[in-house]
Amino acid sequence: MTMDRRSVLGLGGVLAAGVILAPGLRLIAAPEDVTEASDKRRWGMLIDTTQCNPACTACTQACRTENNVPLTGDPERDIHWIRKVELHSKDGGKPDRSLPVLCNHCEHPPCVHVCPTQASFIRKDGIVLVDMHRCIGCRYCMIACPYKARSLVYSTPSIPGTPNRKVPMRAKGVVEKCTFCVHRIDDGGQPACVEACQKEAKGGMLFGDLNDPQSEISQRLRQVLSTTIRPDLGLKPRVHYQGI
Amino acid sequence: MSSRRSLAVRMSVGLLLAMLLVLVGGFPGNLGADPPQPEKPKGGQCVRPAEWMRHNHMDFLKHNRTVAVREGKRVRSESLQKCAECHTSRERFCDRCHDYVAVEPDCFDCHIYPK
């Protein structure tokens, strides 16, 4: 059997590619062993309320499963990291807009300023977090937050049947809130609500780096008319809304 | 008078005997308890030498958690998720010693031990 020059070269190329790819053959890259939050990034969200269906609970459900936030059955003490809010017109008409409200991860978060134990803090990449190891459950932050984004754990939570083992439960007597799914972000992923909205709903939620002018969210923020909730408070929230 | 004194002597002798009984009967049981042996890990090498870990794992874990939570620095090969790959059972590894020395770390009030 004879081979012409081209097929020999081609075969060589395929073999070489095989040798290079085979040892580390992985379709989805695993995160590196050591990663660190970078102060060059500012995570933010843009929510297109025109795409938000009042009956849809994809984002809130996804959040509950991802972060082990079960409903307690007592509406006054239920924990919400993200909740659906209906907008009424000022003349008391029917609600005409529905939108999810979550922690706004403000640039100047009042919850962090009032925290007496420094349990609430701003991470380098702008995410506002609660260090559960330090929280004493005084609830100053809940009073300070204008977005009602925080909840107190009133009783020892029941662990869901198939918990997400990557996210710890919270003990009785701490305050908890949305983390922007920090464990997913650190692995290069997206928050669970955003992923669910894109998969199960119309994809009205967009998440990305506000510091990167080339990121999709930065480009969209330049193109569309958007606002934040209560911009007059001067907290500079990083959750932006389009269509309200 | 003498009968009262003899009663006091008899009572104190009885008390002493009772205490001796408790001491003799109670002590050997406690002395016989050997330190517990935690389950042998499945994998090969730990992230730090075993002897070092025996003394310092609490500070090591606490340091790692602070760095992970507050600075966002995640060392995946040294995460709690990884511990469980070798130390497969919390009950047979962590709890055995903790129960013996009567310490109650509250890690697992919240953290779900990985499977």
User: Is residue B106 domain-shared with residue B61, that is, in the same domain?
Assistant: yes
List chain A residues with CB under 8 Å of B114: 165
Mutate: best of B61, B65, B70, B82, partner A, most A CBs <10 A: B70
Phi, psi of A202 (to 5 degrees): -85, 0
Nearest residue of chain A to residue B84 (CA atoms): A165
| Summary mean pLDDT of chain A | 89
Q: Is residue A62 part of a domain?
A: yes
Q: Dihedral sign, CA of A179, A107, A199, A204?
A: positive
B74 to chain A, any CB pair closer than 8 A? The answer is yes
What domain count does chain A have?
1
Q: Is residue A21 part of a domain?
A: no
Q: Provide the CB-side half-sphere exposure for B115 (13 A, CA).
A: 4
Q: Is residue A174 part of a domain?
A: yes
The more confident residue out of A159 and B74 is B74
From CA B98, how far away is CA B95, in angstroms rounded? 5
Range of the domain at B82: 50-110
User: Is residue B60 domain-shared with residue B94, that is, in the same domain?
Assistant: yes
Q: What is the ipTM of this complex?
A: 0.79
Q: Calculate the alpha carbon distances from A73 to A82, A97, A158, B49, B91 in Å.
A: 17, 27, 11, 48, 32
What is the average per-residue pLDDT within A53-77?
93
User: Is residue B57 domain-shared with residue B88, that is, in the same domain?
Assistant: yes
Q: pLDDT tens across A157-213, in order?
A: 888 889 998 999 999 999 999 999 999 999 999 999 999 999 999 999 999 999 999
Q: Is residue A11 part of a domain?
A: no
Nearest to A125 among B72, B81, B113 (CB): B72
Question: With an 8 Å Cβ cutoff, are B70 and A121 in contact?
Answer: yes
What is the average per-residue pLDDT within A133-141?
97
Percent with pLDDT over 90 in chain A: 75
Q: Is residue B86 part of a domain?
A: yes
Q: Say if residue A6's pLDDT is above 80.
A: no
List chain A residues with CB under 8 Å of B65: 133
Question: With an 8 Å Cβ cutoff, are A36 and B106 in contact?
Answer: no
User: Is residue B55 domain-shared with residue B105, that is, in the same domain?
Assistant: yes
B112 to chain A, any CB pair closer than 8 A? The answer is yes
User: Is residue B56 domain-shared with residue B87, that is, in the same domain?
Assistant: yes
Nearest residue of chain A to residue B73 (CA atoms): A36
Q: pLDDT tens across B38-48, in order?
A: 899 988 889 99
Shortest distance between the Cα of A4 and any Cα of chain B, in A, equals 50
What are the tokens at A217?
């969210």
Provide the pLDDT confidence category of residue B22 given band limits of 50, 70 and 90. Answer: low
Q: Is residue A195 part of a domain?
A: yes
Q: Is residue B44 part of a domain?
A: no
* Domain containing residue A170: CATH number: 3.30.70.20
Phi-psi region of A31 (alpha: psi -120 to 50; beta: other; left: phi over 0): beta
What local confidence, expressed as pLDDT, does residue A119 receive? Answer: 97
Question: With an 8 Å Cβ cutoff, are A37 and B72 in contact?
Answer: yes
What is the average per-residue pLDDT within A2-17?
57
User: Is residue B56 domain-shared with residue B98, that is, in the same domain?
Assistant: yes
What domain count does chain B have?
2
Question: With an 8 Å Cβ cutoff, are B70 and A123 in contact?
Answer: yes
Binding-face residues of B in 51-70 toward A, CB within 8 A: 65-66, 69-70
Percent with pLDDT over 70 in chain A: 88
Q: Is residue B38 part of a domain?
A: no
User: Is residue B76 domain-shared with residue B24, that is, in the same domain?
Assistant: no
Range of the domain at A166: 43-242
Q: Is residue B45 part of a domain?
A: no
For tokens 């569309």, the residue is: A224
What local confidence, expressed as pLDDT, does residue B9 receive? Answer: 78
